[in-house]
Amino acid sequence: MEMTAEQARSRSSVLPMAIVAILFFVLGFATWLNGSLMPYLKQMLTLTPFQASLVLFSFYIAVTFTALPSAWLIRKVGYKNGMALGMATMMLAGLLYIPAAQTQTFALFLLAQLVIGTGQTLLQTAVNPYVVKIGPEETAAVRISIMGILNKTAGVVAPIVFTALMASSFVATPDTALTTAQIDEMAAGLVLPYLGLAAFLGLLALAVKFSPLPELAKEADDNSHAGQIKAALAKPSLALGVVALFVYVAVEVIAGDTIGLFALSLGVERYTVMTSYTMGCMVLGYVLGILLIPRLLSQQTALAISAVLGLLLVMAIVLGDTSSYAIANTVLVPFGGTALPDTLLYIAILGLANAIVWPAVWPLALSGLGALTSTGSALLIMGIAGGAFGPLFWGLASGTGLGQQGAYIVMLPCYLFILFYAVKGHKMLSWK
């Protein structure tokens, strides 16, 4: 019995899909490892919350400076080579962490973060089109959801792996000053894991380079690119969508990557694993989105619900009692889980509120763009830069009388804007 053309196409896309799935997992692993690294460096190098937030800033700011150059490079070398170069750049970054740890130099850690952010941007710019192009167009949304779940699942795994590898280097009393020997032990503990990460990334770069991934057609350089950007931004639904994604990534990164810092300030010993709680809630949110949208909820309604839930959780975090363990004693401890303050778990549950925002904003922002769709997509990708500034503002606010707990108030206007976009912004057809 001969295969139909559709069956042959489906079978031929299995291996490329598997490779792309691995790359999305690696992207998530590299991204959400920051949630463990940041509080670890804060304790090891005795950083202020603002200084610690620079670990995230240097990673995410790479998107701002390298997104468009990455697109240009991919047009020159192709998507497959772009993926391999992205992995190779991340490998070099992994090697930079070793002298940073050996010399305990904060500036070197920031440089390593900038380089790995650059590699991640190049890889993401190259790999995303494959999700749409390597299979039937009518099932692209399913593939995007699967890749999103893989990315966030990596966010659950990365902190657990980091914590397990660093177990012998942790100081059991996070609220006390470290001795020189303890600092040296923490720094030395970073060397082998990052050496292993660099080796893995290097091997993966070679595997991608020589893999049977089909090459996508290269896009021609467009001299009217500036004009297309201007025309796209003239559409309020897109321009406001870019802002919505900017503030969304800001709150996503605050919830995912500062939870460890806050846990450290509360005396939680295994603070580096806290990002896993937020990412676990995000995975749950993705699954609920797949099940409920559009069967029971429209994208707009789901986005509005997410924003309202975010607003309620922010107020619960800011006004909550850090000595209360009621939630953990009800849903975690009876099943062998860890007793954690309610305020920490509110931050983790923000992952549930954040999960639907990215997939909901994209179709609303790109609706009706026609020939400007690719330009609009590039602008939306640049909204990832919000991940650089959200934690920075949180770090600045932490240094005021608000403290780390009160600093989470910076997320309030972000969720208010997302709510505005869900209710009105995406419907706006003109600026008048």
Q: Would you say residue 2 lies in a domain?
A: no
Mean pLDDT taken over the chain: 84
* Domain end position, chosen among 188, 214, 240: 214
- 432: in domain: no
Determine, yes or no, domain membership for 148.
yes
Whether 86 contacts 122, CB under 8 Å: yes
Q: What is the pLDDT of residues 317-357, one digit of tens each?
A: 999 999 999 999 998 888 888 889 999 999 999 999 998 88
Residues 146 and 179 occupy one common structural domain: yes
- pLDDT surpasses 70 at 156: yes
pLDDT of residue 374: 65
- 160 in a structural domain: yes
250 is a domain residue = yes
HEC letters along the chain: CCCCHHHHHHHHCHHHHHHHHHHHHHHHHHHHCHHHHHHHHHHHHCCCHHHHHHHHHHHHHHHHHHHHHHHHHHHHHCHHHHHHHHHHHHHHHHHHHHHHHHHCCHHHHHHHHHHHHHHHHHHHHHHHHHHHHCCCHHHHHHHHHHHHHHHHHHHHHHHHHHHHHCHHHCCCCCCCCCCHHHHHHHHHCCHHHHHHHHHHHHHHHHHHHCCCCCCCCCCCCCCCHHHHHHHHHCCHHHHHHHHHHHHHHHHHHHHHHCHHHHHHHCCCCCHHHHHHHHHHHHHHHHHHHHHHCCCCCCHHHHHHHHHHHHHHHHHHHHHCCCCCCHHHHHHCHHHCCCCCCHHHHHHHHHHHHHCCHHHHHHHHHHCCCHHHHHHHHHHHHHHHHHHHHHHHHHHHHHCCCCHHHHHHHHHHHHHHHHHHHHHCHHHCCCCC
List pLDDT tens digits, range 274-320: 988 998 998 898 888 878 877 788 888 989 999 999 999 999 999 99
The number of residues in the chain equals 432
User: According to the model, what pLDDT value does residue 3 have?
Assistant: 44
The position carrying tokens 């099932």 is: 139
Does residue 240 share a domain with residue 143?
no
For residue 55, what are the contacts with CB-CB under 8 A and spacing of at least 6? Answer: 34, 37, 38, 41, 109, 110, 113
Read off the pTM.
Answer: 0.80
The pLDDT score that the predictor gives to residue 416 is 97
Residue with tokens 């009105």: 424
* Better-predicted residue by pLDDT, 58 or 6: 58
Q: What is the CATH number of the domain that holds 75?
A: 1.20.1250.20
One domain, residues 107 and 237? no
Please give the average per-residue pLDDT across 209-228, as a whole number.
Answer: 66
Co-location of 358 and 382 in the same domain:
yes
Kindly state whether residues 265 and 372 are assigned to the same domain: yes
Predicted confidence (pLDDT) at residue 7 exceeds the cutoff of 50 = no
What would the pLDDT profile of 196-210 be if each residue is shown by its tens digit?
A: 989 999 998 998 888
Q: Please check whether residue 176 lies inside any domain of the structure.
A: yes
Q: Rounded CA gap, 45 and 105, in Å?
A: 8
Residue 3 lies in a domain: no
Least confident of 8-12, 19-23, 98-102: 8-12
Check pLDDT > 60 for residue 4: no
The CA-based angle 419-29-212, given to 5 degrees, is 110
Q: 147 and 188, same structural domain? A: yes
pLDDT at 342: 93
Residue 375: HSE in the Cβ half-sphere, 13 Å Cα cutoff: 22
Domain count, the chain: 2
Mean pLDDT calculated for residue range 155-159: 86
Top pLDDT among 215 and 399 is at: 399
Q: Which of 200, 122, 123, 124 is nearest to 161 (CA)?
A: 200
* Single residue among 170, 185, 214 that ends a domain in this structure: 214
Q: Indicate if 113 and 230 belong to the same structural domain.
A: no
140 or 380, which is more confident?
380
d(C-alpha 298, C-alpha 360), whole Å:
9
**Assigned token pair, 181:** 């020997």
Residue for token pair 């998107």? 63
Q: What is the mean pLDDT of residues 148-155?
A: 84
Q: In this structure, are 201 and 230 located in the same domain?
A: no
Q: What is the pLDDT of residue 10?
A: 47
Same domain, residue pair 178 and 258: no
Stretch 118-127: mean pLDDT: 85
Please give the Cα distance from 261 to 348 (Å, whole number): 13
Question: Which residue type sits at 251?
Answer: V
Tens digits of per-residue pLDDT, 21-79? 888 888 888 888 888 888 889 889 989 888 988 998 999 888 778 877 887 788 788 88
Last residue of a domain, one of 195, 214, 233: 214
Q: Which domain holds residue 376?
A: 225-427
| List of residues 6+ apart from 35 with CB closer than 8 A | 155, 158, 159, 256, 257, 258, 259, 260, 272, 274, 275, 278
Q: CA-to-CA distance for 191 and 104, rounded, in angstroms?
A: 11
Same domain, 41 and 128: yes
Q: What percent of the chain has pLDDT over 70?
A: 88
Same domain as 189, residue 255:
no
Say yes or no: 130 and 17 in one domain.
yes
Distance CA 375, CA 382 (A): 11
Residue 219 placed within a domain: no
Query: Has residue 5 got a pLDDT over 50?
Result: no
Q: What is the CA radius of gyration of the chain?
A: 22
Q: Which residue has the higher pLDDT, 361 or 3?
A: 361
- In a 13 Å sphere around the CA of 289, the CA atoms on its Cβ side amount to 30
90/82 Cα distance (integer angstroms): 12
The confidence score (pLDDT) of residue 259 equals 92
Average pLDDT of 73-94?
88
The predicted pLDDT at position 221 comes to 54
| For the chain, percent of residues with pLDDT exceeding 90 | 33
Q: What is the pLDDT of residue 317?
A: 96
Residue 171 pLDDT exceeds 70: no
